[in-house]
Chains A and B, each alone.
Chain A
Amino acid sequence: DVKVTQSSRYLVKRTGEKVFLECVQDMDHENMFWYRQDPGLGLRLIYFSYDVKMKEKGDIPEGYSVSREKKERFSLILESASTNQTSMYLCASSFSTGELFFGEGSRLTVL
């Protein structure tokens, strides 16, 4: 089975802290994605990567950056966390045109 593992299920951070969310997949997928999920807004794409060291901005990249140094790992970075970044963050991976496989999600609270 495909496994997408997100490093933390729940995090609590303070405003201004730097936050790292890690995601690892074990299926040699080219594509990896970071979404945030908020009630009433569905899933919104933050960034995605279609190859190592390659990244594309999604619909809401402001306040976020990403890193993909190895094919299996895709990190989401909040340089200076703010309260409006309190959300559920979902990582996913896929082959080039296939379906996405999702992790369990990381629920971030910024105080």
Chain B
Amino acid sequence: AQSVTQLGSHVSVSEGALVLLRCNYSSSVPPYLFWYVQYPNQGLQLLLKYTSAATLVKGINGFEAEFKKSETSFHLTKPSAHMSDAAEYFCAVRGQRTGANSKLTFGKGITLSVRP
């Protein structure tokens, strides 16, 4: 079994401020972890992924995330928010399995607003 918890539904930051979006997971097998972004009226786009190599993962648009096994966390950060970062962000987990056990489970998502 696997699950993802994204606490809170909305985060608001000022332009230029640090962005921190939290994600905690549970998985009965070693996980692969993902962050996706969704802009209005679009599908989801991959920001970054953890696949058991380096624990600090860098993604697109200046985002990065750190896998912490002891905390079962995979928080997303960006040092300086830009207006174009306003979107909905989803954390997701899947087990390192193939076939029928390879489904991806998403969190409920967090809406990021960026104030001028």
Does any Cβ of A come within 8 Å of B69's Cβ?
Answer: no
Contacts of A90 in B (CB 8 A): 43-44
Bound Cα distance from A42 to B9, whole angstroms? 10
Contacts of B106 in A (CB 8 A): 35, 42-44
**Contact A100:B104 (CB < 8 A) given known A50-B99, A90-B43:** yes
Bound Cα distance from A92 to B105, whole angstroms? 13
Inter-chain contact A96/B9, CB cutoff 8 Å = no
Chain B residues 51-85 with CB under 8 Å of chain A are: 51
Residue of A nearest to B48 (CB): A99
Bound Cα distance from A42 to B111, whole angstroms? 11
Contacts of B103 in A (CB 8 A): 33, 45, 48, 56, 58
**Contact A33:B44 (CB < 8 A) given known A42-B90, A43-B90, A97-B98:** no
How far apart are B31's CB and chain A's nearest CB, in angstroms?
Answer: 11
Contacts between chains A and B (CB distance < 8 A), count: 66
Bound Cα distance from A62 to B54, whole angstroms? 40
Chain A 37-56 near chain B by CB (<8 Å), digits 1 or 0: 00011111100101100101
Chain A binding surface, main DSSP class: strand
Chain A interface residues toward B at CB < 8 A: 4, 31, 33, 35, 40-45, 48, 50-51, 54, 56, 58, 90, 92, 94, 96-97, 99-105
Bound Cα distance from A35 to B38, whole angstroms? 14
Residue of B nearest to A50 (CB): B99
Chain B 91-116 near chain A by CB (<8 Å), digits 1 or 0: 01010111110111111110000000
**Contact A56:B100 (CB < 8 A) given known A97-B32, A105-B42:** yes
How far apart are A34's CB and chain B's nearest CB, in angstroms?
Answer: 11
Inter-chain contact B98/A33, CB cutoff 8 Å = no
